[in-house]
A and B are shown apart, each in its own frame.
Chain A
Amino acid sequence: MNTSKTQKHRADLLVSCVHDRAPDLIPALEAEVKRRGLEGEVKVVEAGCRGFCSMGPVLLIQPDGTFYVNVQPADVPEMVEETLVKGRVVERMTYQEPSSHACALYEDISFYSKQHRIVLRNCGMLNPASVEEYIAVGGYEAVGKALFDMTPEGVIEEVKKAGLRGRGGAGFAAARKWETGRKAEGDIKYVLANGDEGDPNCFMDRALMEADPHSILEGMIIGAYAMDAHQGYIYIPYEHTLSVKTMRNAIESARAYGLIGEDILGSGFDFEVEVRVGAHSFVGGESTALMHAIEGTVSEPRPKHIHTTEVGLWGKPTCLNNVKTWNLVPEIIGKGAEWFASIGTEKSTGTQVFSLAGKINNVGLAEVPMGTTIRELIFDVGGGIPNGREFKAIQIGGPSGGAVPASLLDMPMDYETLEEAGSMMGTGGVVVLDDRSCVIDVARYFLDFLKDQSCGKCSSCREGIRYMLEMLTNITEGKGKMSDLEVLERMGKSVKISSMCGLGKSVPNPVLSTLRHFRDEYVAHIEDHKCPAGVCKALIEHYINDQCNGCGLCLRKCPQDAITGEKKELHTIDAEKCIQCGVCFDVCRFDAVGVR
């Protein structure tokens, strides 16, 4: 049967999130398609991440747009029979909106329809291993436009007009960086792509590299042309093996089309790019630490009084941008600065990809225009809080960011506004907290994460993490003192101003922002020995109220055999044996287990 590139298929099956969750899904689909003799009509494509983590693995059937969620190999025969052969939708495999109506079509799902996907434009929509598919959707047109129709200065001017800010976290104006890089003296210049994403719960860079590698390469080629650089490196943590593989494959296939290497598209411009792999850590994404890692030395930051755009990798002018920033460049060059600047706010243009995690229905990656309010992101795109619980706060910006309370739910999210609220955009990691989440525990969690993700070079950052973590742990264990709050504030402020790099300067953010917005919770922990959210084990007690009908489920599930009671009679928890694990609370269907 003819399966060449020019073959027109009746349907494409775009399968996402198979790597961890369903490695057998694609072979199962292929086998079933073959069994039904549909090989020439139906093509199974391993597409990249579609960002809908809570529903994966997902399957999009093009061109009609049928969208199935939680697809398992066992569902394959039925799906093929019903949808591909008979043309009917399998109801049970479609997505159920929380408003409880089923959505069979991709474009009807509010998680997608309310997003504005620019960075993620191709994610899950094409085969990342195929440069032809990228070219087919208009890829590498911007490279042609830049190389043949624009001067390097023109490219920088366009990016400047678009108001593009670096997506790595700090939001530094990309065009200013490029301009300094262009003006810097040096025979050799470098462009780097930062693929070392360090925030816990964040995976947009990885998703992008795995789903749409060519958009990053295309941006780098344009950036290199603007800065007169001829060598680029993409730094990816060793652990992200699929990203490394996909990017390396993309470089080789782009080279085969003359898009990388000498005399790109006959323009006379040369550009080489290479993937560099290093050990993963949060601090490893800091620009100078990343350059040290590429140079082969210890990945720790150095002072940047002289910018890396002047003295960077191996002492040469270097322009480092996040992979998302590079990804946006072809869109800006292709569609124009005015188009990009029209999205978002005046100072923060374009869109931002958020990684939604925590107590939210639609866990995953969501891209919305800058300036979208927290409410829109959490409730419209994110589908709200599970189990009808109450929204309490979001922690934006990962360990470097801070908590924003419910009172600021209608606050627009852009770089400046978030910073004023004591948080930061960062890379867009969002952890949603409901009334059952303890903010002190969250702050403690982030410090615990940082304690071995900081490089440990600066005494202020290293020891600050050590002692702030010690104090927060004491508070969550009921051993805190009121004087700790003053020490935490003092220490936080000093660590913020006296540490060297962005990581060190933002280490106290989770502590300071929660102290600012949730001081009463700290006081409750210290003075009343209570955790209002019912999280901190040392400060809570599980009990069974009179809602209990004696079903015995909690009794069977309790790992400590702490629950006693006859069938159909009120159960009780033995406080001596109870370890406050919360299993009974989770399993009870009658709201009979309480926490106090």
Chain B
Amino acid sequence: MATLTIDGVQVTAEEGQTILDVALENGIEIPTLCSHPLLEPYGACRLCVVEIIRRGWPRIETACTYPAWDGIEVNTKAPQVMEARKVILEMMLSRTPNVPIIQDLAREYGITEPPFPAEAPDEKCILCGLCVRTCHELVKADVLNYSAQGIERRVGPPFLEKTRQCIGCGACSIMCPTGAIEIVLEQEAVYQEKPLGPTSAVWVPSLQAIPRVPVIDKDSCIHFRQQDRSEGKIDDACMACQMLCEVDAINFEQEDEIIELDVGAIIVATGFEMWDATKLSQYSYGQSPNILTGLEFERLSNSAGITGGEIVTAEGKEPERVAIIHCVGSRDHNAHEYCSRFCCMYSLKQAHLVRDKTDASVYEFYMDMRAFGSGYEEFYERVQKEEGITMVRGRGASVEVLSNGKLRVKGDDADLGELVHVDVDMVLLSTAVEAPHDSSEVASMFGLSRKPDGFFAEAHPKLRPVETNTDGVFLAGSIQGPKDVPDTVGHAGAAASMALALLDKGEVVISPQVAIVDEKLCSACKTCISLCPYTAIAFVDEDNVARINEALCKGCGTCVAACPAGAITAQHFTTEQIMAQIEGLFRVPAEVEEGVKA
């Protein structure tokens, strides 16, 4: 603990603190552009110069580098200090005349105009070195450093050329006080890969997340991404969040884990996936950045998205005309034959968003308008009448990218009975939804069956819409077929209540008619296992036999009939019993036999 005087005020300092640290703690302002609490002091901008009197000797030093030693006296506003700062700011403003933070600081010191003509008026870099130190100390990538000496000094990667060592983390850009570093996303923009993914490396997955705490996205977190070319992962790369978190809540060791639970009921809710629009080449998806799927458009118009919610084309301009094509991949013999159900309504909503945020004309190419929900028809009426959207009834047939960058949408207008086309700046494809690509694995894991369209089969389409043929396993939402939000909520509610009803029973009564394996006869051929529709048969490796889970078995007899060794019998339904019943059927009653005799 040291005691020193700053501007006549006695203050105390901890071991390792600098004068700047202590001054800031005590509300004494010292201007600085090159210091940052996460980085080692550097002393490049020289704005924090102060007068320090130590052992009777006055000297001018930078507050950001000078240790807060015991007994020193600091004057942050000594006349020669103020003059030195003013001279430095005059030179900085001449170097970077159009940087607001420099302009503001200069104004504080009474400088309104740069005293020298600027060599490059667009210059923003003041060579404070924050980016270089961030890249070296935090990111540990060492991509940035200084090149050339003296007045030619500049910051950049080696030889000022692109380097693969840069992971594009953007930390340098965030640290830069003057906005001199811009991160340019090349070709594959992040949002295209992960439309609903994290917007930063530390994020809350959704506002409804439970518990609602931030998590680290390992794909974008510098700490996890930073690799050394030869030695692999750098363990101490960027730990800025840990250094800043006052309650020590950051744990880099925490891993995703698999938790095993014994449960009484399972609700399977895998949702849907978007169909890949490149599969139908006539829509030219992927050939122009201005052809977007509905989901991409959602990202674009989201206020947390890359444009801050502004609807602009890839060229950064507001579109003049926008076409929306319905049923892309839905109701199509070449893709999915089913209707994806909710595209009509989101297409109308997106037409509304375009009209609301821009002056663009909107053309909707649709086959039938399926506005079936509560209030849907009214919304459909409203966008047509009040917002002036042009509805073209007839499938949008193709999109062509013209040489001037415009997009030509051709279609069939069924009302006019002729082919029409319109040249637009942006095309939104209302693409189909489909069952997730790994549905078959999920199906076999839970012993569920799927319908020809790929979605999961319910036990009965009308009477048991959330149950499956496997007891205790229920479906919720779009796993069973495309659903909009109200339908999904309703379906999920039903699944939850079915599961609760089952759990509430405490115990269940099952039919005693189940199959059993005569383990002496089982030849371990495993034929039965794949045939069982209820996943009730498991193969026990230790005993080398198939064994039946009696709680799951419905006694359907499929395995009994299929077992080549005749090892499986259905209890209460054995061959002997059946034969006995047959014999019983054919036996002439005694009185009849007696009557015949008589």
Count of chain A residues near B, Cβ 8 A: 36
- Write out the residue numbers on chain B whose beta carbons fall within 8 Å of the beta carbon of A451: 150-152
Query: Given the interface contacts A305-B67, A464-B91, A499-B46, does A470 sit within 8 Å of B151 by beta carbon?
Result: no
B532 interface residue per 8 A CB criterion = no
Per-residue A-contact encoding for B46-64, CB less than 8 Å = 1, 0 else: 1101000000000011100
Per-residue B-contact encoding for A270-289, CB less than 8 Å = 1, 0 else: 00000000000101000000
Q: Which of A43-51, A424-432, A486-494, A576-584 contacts B (4 or more CB under 8 A)?
A: A486-494
User: Is B65 a contact partner of A305 (Cβ separation < 8 A)?
Assistant: yes
User: Is A454 a contact partner of B149 (Cβ separation < 8 A)?
Assistant: yes
Q: Which of A56-64, A84-92, A455-463 contacts B (4 or more CB under 8 A)?
A: A455-463
User: Is B46 a contact partner of A458 (Cβ separation < 8 A)?
Assistant: yes
Chain A, range 445-492, C-beta contacts under 8 Å to B? 450-460, 462-467, 470, 487, 490-491
- Write out the residue numbers on chain B whose beta carbons fall within 8 Å of the beta carbon of A452: 148-152
Task: Determine the distance from Cα of A527 to Cα of B254 in the docked complex, in whole angstroms.
Answer: 75
Task: Determine the distance from Cα of A498 to Cα of B66 in the docked complex, in whole angstroms.
Answer: 13
Task: Determine the distance from Cα of A292 to Cα of B145 in the docked complex, in whole angstroms.
Answer: 14
- Write out the residue numbers on chain A whose beta carbons fall within 8 Å of the beta carbon of B44: 457-459
- Write out the residue numbers on chain A whose beta carbons fall within 8 Å of the beta carbon of B129: 457
Contact among A283, A306, A450, A463 for B88, CB-based, below 8 A = A463
A483 and chain B: residue at smallest CB distance: B115
- Write out the residue numbers on chain A whose beta carbons fall within 8 Å of the beta carbon of B152: 451-452, 456
Chain B, range 116-134, C-beta contacts under 8 Å to A? 116, 126-127, 129
B516 interface residue per 8 A CB criterion = no
- Write out the residue numbers on chain B whose beta carbons fall within 8 Å of the beta carbon of A283: 149
Query: Given the interface contacts A305-B65, A458-B46, A459-B126, does A497 sit within 8 Å of B60 by beta carbon?
Result: yes
B94 interface residue per 8 A CB criterion = yes
B43 interface residue per 8 A CB criterion = yes
Task: Determine the distance from Cα of A487 to Cα of B67 in the docked complex, in whole angstroms.
Answer: 33
User: Would you give the shortest CB distance from B469 to chain A, in whole angstroms?
Assistant: 69
- Write out the residue numbers on chain A whose beta carbons fall within 8 Å of the beta carbon of B67: 305-306
User: Would you give the shortest CB distance from A199 to chain B, in whole angstroms?
Assistant: 16
- Write out the residue numbers on chain A whose beta carbons fall within 8 Å of the beta carbon of B60: 497-498
User: Is A463 a contact partner of B92 (Cβ separation < 8 A)?
Assistant: yes
- Write out the residue numbers on chain B whose beta carbons fall within 8 Å of the beta carbon of A298: 145-146
B33 and chain A: residue at smallest CB distance: A459
Contact among A303, A453, A462, A494 for B83, CB-based, below 8 A = A494
Task: Determine the distance from Cα of A136 to Cα of B261 in the docked complex, in whole angstroms.
Answer: 90
- Write out the residue numbers on chain A whose beta carbons fall within 8 Å of the beta carbon of B45: 459
B84 interface residue per 8 A CB criterion = yes
Chain B, range 61-83, C-beta contacts under 8 Å to A? 61-62, 65-67, 80, 83
Chain B, interface size category, equals 35 or more
Total residue contacts A-B, CB cutoff 8 A: 115
B547 interface residue per 8 A CB criterion = no
- Write out the residue numbers on chain B whose beta carbons fall within 8 Å of the beta carbon of A406: none
Query: Given the interface contacts A303-B66, A457-B129, does A462 sit within 8 Å of B150 by beta carbon?
Result: yes
Per-residue B-contact encoding for A299-316, CB less than 8 Å = 1, 0 else: 010110110000000000
User: Is A303 a contact partner of B43 (Cβ separation < 8 A)?
Assistant: yes
- Write out the residue numbers on chain A whose beta carbons fall within 8 Å of the beta carbon of B42: 457
User: Is B150 a contact partner of A491 (Cβ separation < 8 A)?
Assistant: no
Chain B, range 86-139, C-beta contacts under 8 Å to A? 86-88, 91-92, 94-95, 115-116, 126-127, 129
User: Is A455 a contact partner of B153 (Cβ separation < 8 A)?
Assistant: yes
Task: Determine the distance from Cα of A154 to Cα of B182 in the docked complex, in whole angstroms.
Answer: 61
Query: Given the interface contacts A305-B61, A458-B43, does A498 sit within 8 Å of B151 by beta carbon?
Result: no
User: Would you give the shortest CB distance from B63 to chain A, in whole angstroms?
Assistant: 11
- Write out the residue numbers on chain A whose beta carbons fall within 8 Å of the beta carbon of B61: 303, 305
Task: Determine the distance from Cα of A467 to Cα of B151 in the docked complex, in whole angstroms.
Answer: 10
User: Is B66 a contact partner of A453 (Cβ separation < 8 A)?
Assistant: no
User: Is B88 a contact partner of A459 (Cβ separation < 8 A)?
Assistant: yes
User: Would you give the shortest CB distance from B177 to chain A, in whole angstroms?
Assistant: 13
User: Would you give the shortest CB distance from A238 to chain B, in whole angstroms?
Assistant: 15
Query: Given the interface contacts A453-B150, A470-B116, A498-B84, does A460 sit within 8 Å of B66 by beta carbon?
Result: no
User: Would you give the shortest CB distance from A497 to chain B, in whole angstroms?
Assistant: 4
User: Would you give the shortest CB distance from B144 to chain A, in whole angstroms?
Assistant: 12
A500 interface residue per 8 A CB criterion = yes
A495 interface residue per 8 A CB criterion = yes
- Write out the residue numbers on chain B whose beta carbons fall within 8 Å of the beta carbon of A456: 127, 146, 148-153
Task: Determine the distance from Cα of A570 to Cα of B32 in the docked complex, in whole angstroms.
Answer: 67
User: Would you give the shortest CB distance from A491 to chain B, in whole angstroms?
Assistant: 5
- Write out the residue numbers on chain A whose beta carbons fall within 8 Å of the beta carbon of B85: 498
A466 and chain B: residue at smallest CB distance: B151
- Write out the residue numbers on chain A whose beta carbons fall within 8 Å of the beta carbon of B91: 459-460, 463-464, 466-467, 491
Task: Determine the distance from Cα of A465 to Cα of B67 in the docked complex, in whole angstroms.
Answer: 29
User: Is A494 a contact partner of B150 (Cβ separation < 8 A)?
Assistant: no
A458 and chain B: residue at smallest CB distance: B46
Task: Determine the distance from Cα of A498 to Cα of B88 in the docked complex, in whole angstroms.
Answer: 9
User: Is B151 a contact partner of A500 (Cβ separation < 8 A)?
Assistant: no
- Write out the residue numbers on chain B whose beta carbons fall within 8 Å of the beta carbon of A450: 150
Task: Determine the distance from Cα of A281 to Cα of B150 in the docked complex, in whole angstroms.
Answer: 10
User: Would you give the shortest CB distance from A64 to chain B, in whole angstroms?
Assistant: 50
A279 and chain B: residue at smallest CB distance: B149
Query: Given the interface contacts A454-B150, A462-B153, does A490 sit within 8 Å of B116 by beta carbon?
Result: no
- Write out the residue numbers on chain A whose beta carbons fall within 8 Å of the beta carbon of B43: 302-303, 457-458, 500
Query: Given the interface contacts A298-B145, A305-B66, A458-B44, does A495 sit within 8 Å of B87 by beta carbon?
Result: yes
Of the candidates A306, A454, A470, A500, the one having the most CB atoms from chain B within 10 angstroms of its own CB is A500
User: Is B49 a contact partner of A498 (Cβ separation < 8 A)?
Assistant: yes
Task: Determine the distance from Cα of A450 to Cα of B65 in the docked complex, in whole angstroms.
Answer: 25
Contact among A457, A458, A466, A494 for B87, CB-based, below 8 A = A494
User: Is A500 a contact partner of B149 (Cβ separation < 8 A)?
Assistant: no
Task: Determine the distance from Cα of A497 to Cα of B58 in the docked complex, in whole angstroms.
Answer: 11
- Write out the residue numbers on chain B whose beta carbons fall within 8 Å of the beta carbon of A302: 43
- Write out the residue numbers on chain B whose beta carbons fall within 8 Å of the beta carbon of A281: 149
- Write out the residue numbers on chain A whose beta carbons fall within 8 Å of the beta carbon of B84: 460, 494, 497-498
Task: Determine the distance from Cα of A109 to Cα of B100 in the docked complex, in whole angstroms.
Answer: 67
User: Would you give the shortest CB distance from A120 to chain B, in whole angstroms?
Assistant: 31
Per-residue B-contact encoding for A1-19, CB less than 8 Å = 1, 0 else: 0000000000000000000
Chain A, range 36-84, C-beta contacts under 8 Å to B? none
Chain B, range 218-245, C-beta contacts under 8 Å to A? none
- Write out the residue numbers on chain A whose beta carbons fall within 8 Å of the beta carbon of B92: 459, 463
Task: Determine the distance from Cα of A497 to Cα of B62 in the docked complex, in whole angstroms.
Answer: 10
Contact among B65, B80, B146 for A303, CB-based, below 8 A = B65
User: Is A487 a contact partner of B115 (Cβ separation < 8 A)?
Assistant: yes
Task: Determine the distance from Cα of A277 to Cα of B88 in the docked complex, in whole angstroms.
Answer: 35
Task: Determine the distance from Cα of A283 to Cα of B151 in the docked complex, in whole angstroms.
Answer: 13
Task: Determine the distance from Cα of A303 to Cα of B80 in the docked complex, in whole angstroms.
Answer: 20
Chain B, range 25-48, C-beta contacts under 8 Å to A? 41-47
B40 and chain A: residue at smallest CB distance: A302
Task: Determine the distance from Cα of A450 to Cα of B149 in the docked complex, in whole angstroms.
Answer: 10
A305 and chain B: residue at smallest CB distance: B66
User: Is B127 a contact partner of A462 (Cβ separation < 8 A)?
Assistant: yes
Task: Determine the distance from Cα of A300 to Cα of B149 in the docked complex, in whole angstroms.
Answer: 10
Of the candidates B43, B46, B115, the one having the most CB atoms from chain A within 10 angstroms of its own CB is B46
User: Is A494 a contact partner of B151 (Cβ separation < 8 A)?
Assistant: no
A-B pairs with lowest CB-CB distance, top 9:
A456-B153, A463-B91, A494-B87, A452-B150, A498-B84, A494-B84, A303-B65, A497-B60, A454-B150
List 4 additional contacts besides A455-B153, A459-B88, A467-B91; criterion CB under 8 Å: A298-B146, A463-B88, A463-B95, A466-B95
Q: Which residues of A contact B (CB under 8 A)?
A: 281, 283, 298, 300, 302-303, 305-306, 450-460, 462-467, 470, 487, 490-491, 493-495, 497-500
Q: Which residues of B contact A (CB under 8 A)?
A: 41-47, 49, 60-62, 65-67, 80, 83-88, 91-92, 94-95, 115-116, 126-127, 129, 145-146, 148-153
Question: Can you give 25 contacting A-B residue pairs, CB < 8 Å?
Answer: A298-B145, A300-B146, A303-B65, A305-B67, A451-B152, A452-B148, A452-B149, A452-B150, A456-B146, A456-B150, A457-B42, A457-B153, A459-B44, A462-B151, A463-B94, A464-B91, A467-B91, A467-B94, A493-B83, A494-B88, A497-B49, A497-B80, A498-B46, A498-B49, A498-B85
